[in-house]
Structure 1
Amino acid sequence: MATVYLAEQALVEREVALKVMAPQLTVDPSFGERFLREARIAAKLRHPHIVSIIEVGVHGDYHYAAMEYLAGGPVQVRDSDTLGLRETLRVVREIALALDYAHSKGVVHRDVKPDNILLREDGSAVLGDFGIARAVDASGAVTRTGTVVGTPLFMSPEQLRGKQVDGRSDLYSLGVVCFQLLSGRAPFVAEDALALGIMHMTSPIPALPASFEQAQPLVSRLLAKDPADRYQSGAAVVAAVTALEAQLDGSAGAIAPAPEGNPREPDLDLGAGRDGRAEPVLGEFEQAVSDRWRVTPRPQGKLRRRRRWGLPLLLVLVLLGALGWWQRATWLPPV
Structure 2
Amino acid sequence: MATTNRQFVLGKRPEGTPDRDTFELEEIEVPEPEYGEVLVRTLSLSVDPYMRGRMDEAESYAESWQVGEPMEGAVVGEVVESEHEAWSAGAFVTGNLTWSEYATAHGDRLSPVEPGENLGLEAHLGVLGMPGRTAYFGTRDVLDPYPGDTVVVSGAAGAVGSTVGQIAKLAGTRVVGFAGSEEKVRYLEEDLGFDVGINYTETDDYREALDEAAPDGVDRYFDNVGGPISDAVFTRLNVDATVAVCGQIDTYNATEAPTGPRKLPMVIAPRATVQGFLVFDYEPRFPQATEHLREWVEAGDIEHRETVVEGFENAPDAFLGLFSGDNIGKQVVKVAEPDS
Per the TM superposition, whether the score is higher than 0.5 is: no
Determine which structure has greater relative contact order: mean sequence separation of CA pairs < 8 Å that are 6+ residues apart, divided by chain length: 1
Bigger helix share? 1
